[in-house]
Amino acid sequence: KAGVTQTPRYLIKTRGQQVTLSCSPISGHRSVSWYQQTPGQGLQFLFEYFSETQRNKGNFPGRFSGRQFSNSRSEMNVSTLELGDSALYLCASSSTGTSTVTQYFGPGTRLLVL
Amino acid sequence: AQRVTQPEKLLSVFKGAPVELKCNYSYSGSPELFWYVQYSRQRLQLLLRHISRESIKGFTADLNKGETSFHLKKPFAQEEDSAMYYCALHGSSNTGKLIFGQGTTLQVKP
């Protein structure tokens, strides 16, 4: 099986712009979670989608949003970028998202905001 | 509040020495805990989960509810164990939310 893929792998944006990141889960997986990884805050949960519905949301401002399509692919959008949004954004997929199944992580998208 | 604490940023040991990576958690209810590992230039991947009570690559972890700990142990470290290790708590059993600790870099010296 192909692993979780994320595109693009690297992005450079300027403050005030918006960005969309994409995550393609492993075939058959219906749950996609997003995480922000920074040196200062570590790995922080953004949100999770299951069968096109947001099932859980972390403590991030409304500038961070996401969606999931019928093929389980997910996108994450950040509007009005700030310098502090520079981070590695990881997505993870699993069949159900519950604790009994393994979550598989993608390679991440590294976002740099100038 | 749900929280995972890994007190050590870096743990450096010699090959063949025992390893213990510490993890403490805060969670009301029955916690479900995991250890994830990230080797250099590789993806974050699951190492083990407490409900399986298994040994993976010689690593074991026991959940101690009294001490709210889930320390990762290996009796004899190998150079290939050098990596970043994250302890994680499943935030809600019915969703994919994971709460991660800050991570500990394990460096195994020859």
CB nearest A103 (choices: B91, B96, B102)? B96
Closest-CA distance of chain A to residue B81, Å: 20
Judge whether B72 and B54 are in contact, CB under 8 Å: no
Give the pLDDT confidence score for residue B1 in this predicted structure: 80
> A56 to chain B: which residues are within 8 Å by CB?
91-92, 95-97
Contact A33 B97 (CB under 8 A): yes
**pLDDT, averaged in runs of 10, over chain A (114 residues):** 92 97 96 94 94 92 97 97 97 84 93 98
* Cβ contact A3–B43 (<8 Å): yes
Q: Retrieve residue B57's tokens.
A: 């690559």
CB B96 within 8 A of CB A48: yes
Give dist(CA A29, CA A86) in Å, integer. 28
Strands B33-38 and B98-100: unpaired
pLDDT digits (tens, 9 = 90+) for B26-53: 988 888 899 999 999 999 999 998 877 7
Helix H or strand E encompassing B81: none
Q: Is residue B93 predicted with pLDDT exceeding 70? A: no
Residue B12 has pLDDT above 80, yes or no: yes
**Given this model, what pLDDT does residue B79 score?**
97
Task: Please tell me which of the candidates B93, B97, B102 has its beta carbon nearest to residue A45.
Answer: B97
Q: What is the pLDDT of residues B51-80, one digit of tens each?
A: 777 888 999 998 998 999 999 999 999 999
